[in-house]
Amino acid sequence: MEFGEKVLELRNSKGMTQEELAEALFVSRTAISKWESGRGYPSIDSLKEISKFFSVSIDELLSSEKLVTIAEKENRANIRKVLDYLLGLNDLLACGLIFLPLFPHPIEKMVYAVSLIEYSDVSTTIKLIYWILFASLVVIGAVIVVLNHFKCEKIKRGMIILSMGISIVTVLVLAITRAAYATSVAFILMTIKGLLLLKREKT
């Protein structure tokens, strides 16, 4: 007997509707429907709840092979979630491009480093471009963290792609305008982001 058929049989044995079982297991009615129709399987935590609620062992519900498959899938999903948090945090670190002394400010024969807030040795247009790029990265980073928390996968993926694009543009703009220290920091952040994305795609 398949897992879905077992859940259906157990639910009927207690005379429960899908809604009632969903409420008892703290899941949606749609989840129960998917399980019973064979269109999906529960998480390990949900399996434990089903096992406890119906007083049956997990082995009776699922074969060991299917259980391993679910565990591996859940593990990959958890790794991706952690990587996405790191991607968001990486973008939040772009605030360092605003507040750290990374921009050259020559005084007589000496060159000092100042933050973007104090930086006045470029045109207003270029400084505005800096602000837009850096602020965009910080905002996108915060959005990615929030979307990751609420499991909005499609929108989050789009934001991650946008983030990488802005990072590339940021490095190019900083390099063209000869802000060496800021270029180095932005390049390091972009490289880390690229490695995280590569790891994410392999997971």
Q: Return the pLDDT at 109.
A: 87
Q: Cα(160)–Cα(148) distance, rounded to whole angstroms?
A: 11
CA nearest neighbour of 44 among 73, 84, 5: 73
Per-residue pLDDT of the chain (203 residues; tens, 9 = 90+): 899 999 999 999 999 999 999 999 999 999 999 999 999 999 999 999 999 999 999 999 998 899 999 999 999 999 999 999 999 999 999 999 999 999 999 998 899 999 999 999 999 999 999 999 999 999 999 999 999 999 899 999 999 999 999 999 999 999 999 999 999 999 999 999 999 999 999 98
Write down the pTM of the prediction: 0.86
Q: Return the pLDDT at 1.
A: 82
DSSP bridge partners of 103: 114
| Number of structural domains the chain divides into | 2
Range of the domain at 124: 75-202
Q: Return the pLDDT at 56.
A: 96
Q: Is residue 81 part of a domain?
A: yes
Q: Do both 41 and 115 map to the same domain?
A: no
Q: Is residue 67 part of a domain?
A: no
Looking at residue 20, which CATH number applies to its domain? 1.10.260.40
CA nearest neighbour of 42 among 85, 10, 12: 10
Q: Cα(173)–Cα(14) distance, rounded to whole angstroms?
A: 66
Q: Return the pLDDT at 95.
A: 97
Q: Which of 62, 83, 107 is the last residue of a domain?
A: 62
Q: Which of 31, 62, 93 is the last residue of a domain?
A: 62
Q: Do both 82 and 167 map to the same domain?
A: yes
